[in-house]
């Protein structure tokens, strides 16, 4: 039993956080700061997440890293700069960004020029003073372009390059659109030509169908008036003159 207790003591404190298991799979670890019949609020270190109780399958409560942080912070003297810096570093490692920032900000209240706390909060030195990164770049004449700090000359080069690239892409698009339009027009012209040819062939076939020279007015013996005497001459179908279709 003592061996098990020792192993539990050696486990990371995160394993003892409150854990809210959800019905649709997954879970949320942190410290439950409020629980009602309709919802549960979990402090995950970087903020508080609210979960409706109808989504909760079950809850396993334990000791969270926030509890450890609060215990350690309560034992530190307000002017213990080293202790607060150490607590801030531990909080960062545990993913407790809000608690870590609180620890480092407490250090700066006591020692405004403390390098460790300033660097942890993203501050940089400029002319012997700690300023934000943005203030540092602005003071040196840099400008922010597309999310990056650069000199005005570099920003101008970037703008010119982007304008050239945009003009090239627009020209390529117009060329592609014109080529597609030409292909479509060619296809439409070809289709219209084929349709006209088919209509002409249909008209020619209909005209040939009603032409007596081509089809001899039907089948069987065909009579033609004899020249000069008004008599009828019988001509067999095989002797009917046939005109080649136009």
Domain architecture of the chain: domains with CATH: 10-64 (2.30.30.100), 76-128 (1.25.40.10)
Q: Give me the chain's average pLDDT, please.
A: 82
Residue 132 corresponds to which tokens in the numbers above? 């934000």
**Residue 61 pLDDT:** 82
Residue with tokens 């039993």: 1
β pairing state of 56-60 and 143-145: unpaired
Q: Which residues 6+ apart lie within 8 Å of 104 measured at CB?
A: 84, 85, 88, 117, 120, 121
Residue 7: DSSP 8-state: H
Q: Which residues, in sequence order, are bridge partners of residue 225?
A: 232
Q: Is pLDDT of 17 > 80?
A: no
Give the number of residues written for the chain: 246
Q: Is pLDDT of 210 > 80?
A: no
Give residue 173's pLDDT band: very low, low, confident or very high (50, 70, 90): very high
3-state DSSP helix/strand/coil % of the chain, to nearest 5 = 55, 20, 25
Q: Is pLDDT of 41 > 80?
A: yes
- CA–chain centroid gap for 135, Å, is 33
pTM: 0.51
- The answer to whether residues 55 and 24 touch, using CB atoms and an 8 Å cutoff, is yes
How far apart (Å, rounded) are the C-alpha atoms in residues 184 and 177?
A: 10
pLDDT digits (tens, 9 = 90+) for 216-233: 554 444 455 555 555 555
Q: Which residues, in sequence order, are bridge partners of residue 56?
A: 22
């Amino acid at each position: 039993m003592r061996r098990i207790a020792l192993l539990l003591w050696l486990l990371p404190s995160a394993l003892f956080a409150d854990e809210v298991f959800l019905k649709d799979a997954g879970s949320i670890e942190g410290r439950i700061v409020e629980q009602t019949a309709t919802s549960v609020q979990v402090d995950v270190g970087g903020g508080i997440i609210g979960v409706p109780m109808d989504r909760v399958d079950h809850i396993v409560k334990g000791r969270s890293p926030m509890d450890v942080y609060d215990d350690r912070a309560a034992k530190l003297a307000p002017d213990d700069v080293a202790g607060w810096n150490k607590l801030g570093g531990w909080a960062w490692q545990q993913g407790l960004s809000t608690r870590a920032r609180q620890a480092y900000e407490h250090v700066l209240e006591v020692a405004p020029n403390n390098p460790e706390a300033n660097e942890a909060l993203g501050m940089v030195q400029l002319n012997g003073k700690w300023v934000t990164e943005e203030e540092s770049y602005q003071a040196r004449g840099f400008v922010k372009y597309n999310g990056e700090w650069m000199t005005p000359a570099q920003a101008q080069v970037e703008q010119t390059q982007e304008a050239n690239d945009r003009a090239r892409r627009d020209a390529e698009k117009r060329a592609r659109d014109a080529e597609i339009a030409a292909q479509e027009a060619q296809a439409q012209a070809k289709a219209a030509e084929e349709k006209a040819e088919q209509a002409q062939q249909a008209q020619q076939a209909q005209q040939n169908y009603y032409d007596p020279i081509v089809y001899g007015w039907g089948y069987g013996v065909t009579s033609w008036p004899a020249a000069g005497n008004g008599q009828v001459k019988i001509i067999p179908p095989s002797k009917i003159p046939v005109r080649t279709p136009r």
